[in-house]
Amino acid sequence: MKPRGLTLVEMLLAMAISLALMVAMIATFQSGQRLFLSALDAVALSDFQYRVPRELVQRITASNLEQIEPGQNTFQVGTAFDPNHRFRLTPEGYPDWQGKTIYRLSQGQLLQREPWEKNPRALLNQLTLASLEFKNQAYLLRLQTDYQGYTRSYRGEVAIWAAPVN
């Protein structure tokens, strides 16, 4: 028996089915990419609105007045965290100060440098202001952003009061 090849109709049908499958795969990948980029924007905005400001407030609250240096776009806060990120206490139960953590705004990034680190690390991007002001025996932390994300844009400010315990 002579081997039989594909007819033109069979070849066109196979191409049409392949094309339909490729279109469906591309649409699925694009949908997944949109969801991924949307999730990246949600994490960035959550960091700006919740995680980073609360972390800074905890650091300010744990410090005493002498260890905080307020400023516009640069400020310092005392830290009792060691290089292993554990909060250190003296035998008397007071914080064992390791030095000062420096926060500064540079080219839209809020950078944090712990006393034992040589290079700062970025906490937030696309900031326009990062300030710590002393008012009424407490500190006002203000962060402003003009966020241009992958799927959304956001312009806003977070302002939180923090008072050191001592």
166 band by pLDDT with thresholds 50, 70 and 90: low
Q: Is 1 domain-assigned?
A: no
Going by C-beta distance under 8 Å and a sequence separation of 6 or more, which residues neighbour residue 40?
Answer: 149, 150
Q: Measured between alpha carbons, how far apart are the two ends of the chain, in Å?
A: 97
Give residues with Cβ within 8 angstroms of 2, minimum separation 6. none
Longest dimension (CA), the chain: 99
Assess if residue 62 is contained within a domain: yes
How many domains does the chain contain in total? 1
Query: Does residue 70 sit within a domain?
Result: yes
Position 3 in a domain: no
What is the tens place of the pLDDT at every residue in 67-126?
899 999 999 998 888 888 888 899 998 888 888 999 999 999 999 999 989 999 999 999
Question: Has residue 36 been placed in a domain?
Answer: yes
Mean pLDDT for all residues in the chain? 91
> Domain limits at 150?
8-162
In a domain, 141, yes or no: yes
Q: Is 25's pLDDT higher than 70?
A: yes
Is the pTM of the predicted complex or chain greater than 0.85? no
Q: Report the pLDDT averaged over residues 41-54.
A: 92
**Residue 2 domain-assigned?**
no
Residue corresponding to tokens 């956001």:
154
The answer to whether residue 140 is domain-embedded is yes
